[in-house]
Amino acid sequence: MSDFSLDLNDDQLQIQKWVHDFAADVIRPAAPEWDEREETPWPIIEEAAKIGLYSIDFVSQAFGDPTGITFAMISEELCWGDAGITLALLGTTLGVTGILGSGTPEQIGEWIPQCFGTADDIRMAAFAVSEADAGSDVSSLRTRAVYDEAKDEWVLNGTKSWITNGGITHVPTVHVVVASVEPELKSRGHASFVVPPGTPGLSMGQKYKKMGIRASHTAEVVLDDVRVPGSCLLGGKEKLDARIARAREGKSSRVQAAMSTFEASRPLVGAQALGIARAAYEYALDYAKERQAFGRPIIMNQAIAFKLADMKTAIDAARLLVWRATWMGRNGKEFTAGEGSMSKLYAGEVAVKVTEEAIQILGGAGYVKDHPVEQWHRDSKIYTIFEGTSEIQRLVIARTISGMQIP
C-alpha cells in the first residue's frame, strides 16, 4: 500500500552515525570553552570543512533526500553536541535559504557555492531581515534600497539587528539583505539583495553578548551607502517591478508561497531544539540512575522517574511533529494546519522545559558549570524566540486552522 516508514534507511543511518561521532568527539568536548569565549569556533568549522561536513555538497545532499528527514536528523545530532557551535556551522544555511527562496536559477548557481567556499577557502553567509523596530513585525523594516538607474546599481542604507554571522568581514561572507524598495507598500514593497563579500559600506555594529548559543556570532549589520550591481537583486528587476505593480493595483500577492517557505524551514529549527532536549534528557537519566539519596538512586523516586518519562514522551512527540513537517515540505504537501509552525513551537518549548527539568534532577550539581545542563537550558531559550517567536507560531497556526486574519 504505502511506502510510509519511520525507519531511517541505510544512507540515513550512516550519515547519522558520522554526524553523531563528530558531535560527540569534536563538538561536545569543545562546547564549554566556546561558550565562555563567546566567539565563532573557527577551528571546528575548519575541521568540519576538512571532512566535508561544512560544505555545499553535504548540505545539497541532505536537502535532496526524498524523505525530508535527513537534514532534521543532522540538525538534531549536531545540537546534541552543542547548539551554539551548530549554529556557527549551520548559520550559513540561513543565507542559502534566502537565496533559494528568491533567487533565479542563475543567481542560485552563482551565489550558493560562494556561501560555503571550500575547505581551503572557507566562506560564510548571513540572512539579515530583523531590525531594532522590526522583528516579529517585518512589515516595519526601515532599511531602504534605492535604484540608481544610470549605473544599474542598488544603494542600501539601514541597520540590521541580531544577525547570525552578521557583519563578519575577515572571512568572505555573503550577506543576504531584505530591504524596502517601496515603503508605502509595507511587506509587499520588500526585496532581497545579495551583498557580495568585501562590498564597501557594509560593516559590523555591536556584537551582542548573549544568554546562550554563545559560540554563534550575533551582531548588527550596518549598511552605509552600500552599492551592489543590479544583478544582486534576487529574482531580478522585471519580477520586482511586476510584483510592485500588482501590489499597487491591490491584486493578490504570493503570500502563500512565502508561507510555504517558512513552514518548510521552521521544522529544521525545531530539530535543533530537539537535539538540546535529547542531550539534557540522556544526561539526566544517567545521573538519576547513579546519584544516591536516602540510600537509593534518585530515579527510584517516582517524582524523578515520572519527570524522565514525561521528558522522553515530549521529545518523541516533538520529533514526530518535526519529521512530519519536513516530510510534508519535501513532498510538496500543503500545510493546512500550520504543521511547520506547530513543530517549531512544540520542539522549542519542549527544549526549554526538558532542560529545566534536567537541572532539577541534578539539583545543586545542575545549577553549576561542573555539568552541562545549565548551559543547555540557556541555549534552549532562543528556540522560543528566533525564526518566529512562540506567539507568532501560535498566530500562524490559529490563522491557518481558522482561515481568519486573527490580528
Ligand X SMILES: Cc1cc2nc3c(=O)[nH]c(=O)nc-3n(C[C@H](O)[C@H](O)[C@H](O)COP(=O)(O)OP(=O)(O)OC[C@H]3O[C@@H](n4cnc5c(N)ncnc54)[C@H](O)[C@@H]3O)c2cc1C
Residues near ligand X (CB under 6 A): 94, 127-130, 135-137, 162-164, 210, 213, 218, 382, 385-386, 389, 391-392, 395
Task: State in angstroms the smallest separation of the CB of 212 from ligand X.
Answer: 8
For ligand X, the closer of residues 268 and 361 by Cβ is: 268
Long-range contact set of residues 142-148: C-beta below 8 Å, sequence gap at least 24: 142/180, 143/177, 143/178, 143/179, 143/180, 143/223, 144/179, 144/180, 144/181, 144/183, 145/179, 145/180, 145/181, 145/191, 145/193, 146/181, 147/181, 147/230, 147/237, 148/227
Q: Indicate if 387 belongs to the active site.
A: yes
Name the residue number minimizing CB distance to ligand X: 135
What's the min distance (Å) between Cβ of 97 and ligand X?
Answer: 10
User: Least distance in Å: CB of 166 to ligand X?
Assistant: 7
Residue among 65 and 379 whose Cβ is closer to ligand X: 379
| Minimum distance of ligand X from residue 192's CB (angstroms) | 11
Q: Which is nearer to ligand X, 320 or 398 (CB)?
A: 398
Among the options 47, 76, 387, 391, which is catalytic?
387
Q: Which is nearer to ligand X, 121 or 137 (CB)?
A: 137
Least separation in angstroms between CB 140 and ligand X: 9
Beta bridge partners of 124: 173
Which residue's CB is nearer to ligand X, number 67 or number 380?
A: 380
Active-site residue list: 387
